[in-house]
Amino acid sequence: MSSSPGRDRLVASLKSPRSRGQITAALLLAVVGFASVVQVQSQERDNDYESMREEDLVQLLNSLAGASQRAENEIAQLEQTRSSLRSDTDSRRAALEQARERATVLGILAGTLPAVGQGIVVTVEDPEEQVGIDQMLNGIEELRDSGAEAIEINNTVRVVAQTALVDGEGGIVVDGTQLAPPYTLEVIGEPHTLERALNIYGGFVATIERPPIGGEVAIEESQNIEISTLAEPRQPEYAEPAEPE
Amino acid sequence: MSAETRPETTQEELPPQVHMPLLDYVIANSLDGDYAQAAERAEAADGGEAPKIKPGIAALVVMGLFGVLVTTAAIQTARNAGDESAGKESLVNQIQARSAQVEARRERAANLREENESLQSLFLETTSQGRALSARLDRLGAVTGALPVTGPGVKVVVDDAPDGTSEKQRVFDKDLQKLVNALWASGAEAISINEQRLSNLSAIRLAGSAITVNYVSLSGPYTVLAVGDPDTMPARFVETKHGRDWLDLQAFYGLQFEMTAEDSMTLPAAPSRRLNLIHATQGDTQ
Amino acid sequence: MIAGLGLLVGIIVGLMLQPEVPLWLEPYLPIAVVAALDAVFGALRAFLDGIFDDKVFVVSFISNVLIAALIVYLGDKLGVGGQLSTGVIVVLGIRIFSNVAAIRRHIFHA
């Protein structure tokens, strides 16, 4: 058996495309094709709500209402998270700001930061080289007592809590640095108060200017004292912050 | 009834719907069989005459009824469509409004999620900055007296001469100043006198007849705690001038002096007012 | 044709009266129309075949409409109203197609 009769017919029709039957079929198929395309396109257009039945529309509306509600819930949750994040961040930022300010204050006290402010400049002339650590120590204590917040000596030494004065061969040694007269103390604090304290009866100025020391003290008030000498940052070896009780 | 006398039904006598497929049967019987039967009867009754094929009054009435029925159904459908389309139109409007709402809400949720993410990373950054700062504050606090500290060191207890008569047999502020200075020079890292921690703003002064430290009045005996190396501090102490001054005070005026090494001492923090700056602010770093 | 006249009269009457269909009757209206359509086309075919009969037309019309409505009503009560109505429409539809094809053969000899 060779090829099937049906296939023969198909092949024959492809070879001679102009019989009346074929043209009629072609016209009808064109109509069918046109109608199909129109239908498919109308399905895809946005306003296909036309073709949906009322109950389908109601169902769609309900599911949209549900989706809207869920989105609203999610928004409420996200807003809550946001407000707590904001307040947490704000409080942390505030704490951070406070901590930074504290670090600045402690840095100035520890001598690791330069300081500026109003105060006085004390110049001690010591022609006989009689000024010793007793007098200098007393002077520093007087200054602290009257509100000195930062003290710099001879632009080379920064006075801090641990500052120690010892006798050296050339004179006063402060925190391991040999100092020679004249001694210049730059002090930040309230200028009048500082000056008055040094000048009290039997105080620093009196002791220096009397015999046996026979020196001279000049005090100059200033609105802008700049203390730029820094102390060596100390890393305590024996002292540890204690646990709070 | 015996088996032989039961009438045998043959294939031809069975009604057609028994053996014909359903659709074929429906199509074949789409014209009421009554018409054929009525035509046969009429032919039999009239003896071969042409059957009455003209539609009569009854047919007319039925067609009228049919017309009314179809028209009514058409009108009803038109009415319903009107209502329905109005209802549908409002539904469609609602659907479009809801869709827009869902879209808007989803967008807002996405924005919020983004915002929260950046807030979260900001928060974490702040936290890590905070930690770094906290470590720095710990170190500065121990050194400046802002934090209480513990550690080994020496304890020095001084007091007036027990049965002193002259003024010189009392402990003066200058004496305590020298004691503290000698301890700093011996390597002390933190010092307190009678629970008053010394900061850079602390002064040892005499107010009337009482010694004040941090503006707090103290009375003897004076317990001075100095945190440092307990092994080397005593030796270094006597090498300083002020340390030796105290030995003289002891020897010549009878002031009481006792230094002991300690394994562990706790020093309180300085009062907060002794850690406040009013005039000094941070200068420029060069 | 008188029958056509009857149809015209019926349509006019229907348009003029515009009767309100009660709500409980509304679902059965479409089925009734299709059943009536089947009876009408059956009558037309019988007429063209030469075997038309008045009585048969009346009986088939009324019974078609009533039976179709009854089947759907029963289906609603049983809970399978939609499916039964589909079945009835399918059968009526096939019959209508078949009768119309026969009518077409008569008219167009195609």
In chain C, domain spans? 23-108
Across residues A158-166, what is the average pLDDT?
A: 95
What lies within 8 Å, CB to CB, of C104 at 6+ separation is C110
pLDDT for the residue A80 = 93
**For A114-227, CATH number?**
3.30.70.1880
Q: How far is CA A179 from CA A50, A125, A174, in A?
A: 101, 13, 7
| At least 3 CB pairs under 8 A between chains C and A | no
- 3-class secondary-structure state, position A72: helix
Comparing CB atoms, the residue among A49, A79, A239 nearest residue B92 is: A49
Tell me the per-residue pLDDT of B35-78, one tens digit each, with 9 for 90 and over.
Answer: 888 878 777 776 555 555 566 788 888 888 898 888 988 888 88
Give B2's pLDDT tier (boundaries 50, 70, 90).
very low
Lowest pLDDT segment from A185-189, A212-216, B110-114, C65-69: A212-216
Q: Considering only CB atoms, which chain C residues are within 8 Å of B71? A: 10-11, 13-15
pLDDT for the residue B221 = 93
Tell me the per-residue pLDDT of B129-180, one tens digit each, with 9 for 90 and over.
Answer: 888 888 888 889 999 999 999 999 999 999 998 887 888 888 999 999 999 9
Contact A119 B279 (CB under 8 A): yes
Interface contact A104, partner B, CB < 8 A? yes
pLDDT for the residue B1 = 45
pLDDT for the residue A187 = 96
pLDDT for the residue C38 = 92
Lowest pLDDT segment from A59-73, A87-101, A112-126, B174-188: A87-101
What is d(CA B98, CA C68) in angstroms, rounded to the nearest whole number? Answer: 43
Q: Considering only CB atoms, which chain A residues are within 8 Å of B115? A: 82
What is d(CA C44, CA C51) in angstroms, rounded to the nearest whole number? Answer: 10
- Average pLDDT of the residues of chain A: 87
- Kind and range of the H or E element at A187? strand A183-188
Chains with ≥3 CB–CB distances under 8 Å to B: A, C
Q: Report phi then psi at B31, rounded to 5.
A: -100, 125
As assigned by CATH, the class of the B150-272 domain is alpha beta
Q: SS3 string of chain B?
A: CCCCCCCCCCHHHCCHHHHCCHHHHHHHCCCCHHHHHHHHHHHHHHCCCCCCCCCCHHHHHHHHHHHHHHHHHHHHHHHHHHHHHHHHHHHHHHHHHHHHHHHHHHHHHHHHHHHHHHHHHHHHHHHHHHHHHHHHHHHHHHHHCCCCEEEEEEEEEEECCCCCCCHHHCCCHHHHHHHHHHHHHCCCCEEEECCEECCCCCCEEEECCEEEECCEEECCCEEEEEECCCCCHHHHHHHCHHHHHHHHHHHHHCCEEEEEEEEEEEECCCCHHHHCCCCCEECCCC
pLDDT for the residue A220 = 94
Centre a 10 Å sphere on the Cβ of residue A165 and count the other Cβ atoms it contains.
28
Among B83, B92, B144, B265, most A C-beta atoms within 10 A, so best to mutate, is B144
pLDDT for the residue C97 = 93
Give B34's pLDDT tier (boundaries 50, 70, 90).
confident
Across residues A96-107, what is the average pLDDT?
A: 91
Q: How far is CA B269 from CA B7, B155, B203, in A?
A: 127, 17, 15
Tokens of A170: 């050339």
Interface residue ranges in chain B relative to chain C, Cβ cutoff 8 Å:
23, 26-27, 30-32, 34-36, 38-39, 42, 51-53, 55-73, 75-76, 80
Contact C32 B69 (CB under 8 A): yes
Every domain of chain A and the residues it spans: 52-110, 114-227
pLDDT for the residue A162 = 94
Tokens of B120: 């979260």
Q: Report phi then psi at B165, rounded to 5.
A: -115, -40
State the smallest CA–CA distance between residue C64 and chain B in angstroms: 11
Contact B203 A145 (CB under 8 A): yes
Chain A and chain B share a number of CB contacts under 8 A equal to 248
Contact B228 A238 (CB under 8 A): yes
State the smallest CA–CA distance between residue C88 and chain B in angstroms: 12
What lies within 8 Å, CB to CB, of A125 at 6+ separation is A181, A182, A215, A216, A217, A218
Contact A93 B126 (CB under 8 A): yes
Give the nearest chain A residue to B202 (CA atoms).
A144
pLDDT for the residue A243 = 74
Give the nearest chain B residue to C91 (CA atoms).
B26
